Amino acid sequence: MRVAGRTDAGVHATAQVVSLDVAPGRPATDPLRLRQSVNGLLPHDVAVRKVTLAPDGFDARTHALSRTYDYRVLAAPPSPLRRSRTFQHMGPPLDRAALDACAAACVGQHDFTAFTPSGTDHVFFHRTVLQCQWRDEADEMVLRIEANAFLRHMVRVIVGTMLECGRGRRPVDDFTALLEGAPRSAAGPTALPHALTLVGVRYG
């Protein structure tokens, strides 16, 4: 069994993809029966929404061209009902222009060493970000970021550092300089995991 993307503990996924080999002719090759059977065994906070037959050799991880994440910030009075899915910003309003500038700077190929833990198994730190932008959804600000691949904690450190810029604690030029391979210690804090969701995986 292979999954399209690994996520940190506490991170959500609405579009995780799993590839699984089953023996030909077994009942498991009936997609509807397989979905019902697996959902009957899973805990309440995990569910299979769709099952399809894939071409021979399909691998959910290695065949993925990109992955997309959303990070949700509630820039309004706190909401207990949304506490498990949003980062609830308290304090003066965030500088939206600074956040937008940081997001625009992320697009393209960069060295994201500053945005992953120093103690890592990664040996290559360049990643290509295909889109990165903030949008408004009612009283929430949502960062959507798509890349060919992500480093461990990469999105969460990007968000944590962007929020420092949004609070006026760090200039945008400083954020941009981090994309040239600065050490992890130069970037901001790792944002909390519960506001991050894997929302898409793209294949050819």
Phi-psi region of 31 (alpha: psi -120 to 50; beta: other; left: phi over 0): alpha
Strands 64-74 and 87-88: parallel
Name the token pair of 46: 């995990």
Give the residue from 108, 122, 199 showing the smallest Cα distance to 153: 122
**pTM summary value:** 0.93
Integer angstrom CA distances of residue 167 from 3, 93, 98, 99, 121: 36, 8, 9, 9, 32
Integer angstrom CA distances of residue 33 from 3, 43, 169: 21, 18, 54
User: At 7, which amino acid appears?
Assistant: T
Give the residue from 16, 15, 22 showing the smallest Cα distance to 56: 22
pLDDT recorded at residue 28: 57
pLDDT recorded at residue 42: 94
Q: How many Cβ atoms are within 10 Å of 81's Cβ, its own excluded?
A: 8
pLDDT recorded at residue 25: 63
pLDDT recorded at residue 6: 78
Q: Give the catalytic positions in this structure.
A: 8
Taking the C-alpha atoms of residue 170 and residue 113, their distance in angstroms, rounded to an integer, is 18
pLDDT in tens, the chain (204 residues): 899 987 788 999 999 999 988 776 665 568 888 899 899 999 999 999 999 989 989 999 999 999 999 999 998 899 999 999 999 998 899 999 999 999 999 999 999 999 999 888 778 999 999 999 999 999 999 999 999 999 999 999 999 999 999 999 999 999 999 999 999 999 999 999 999 999 999 998
pLDDT recorded at residue 21: 86
pLDDT recorded at residue 70: 98
Give the residue from 155, 167, 150 showing the smallest Cα distance to 195: 155
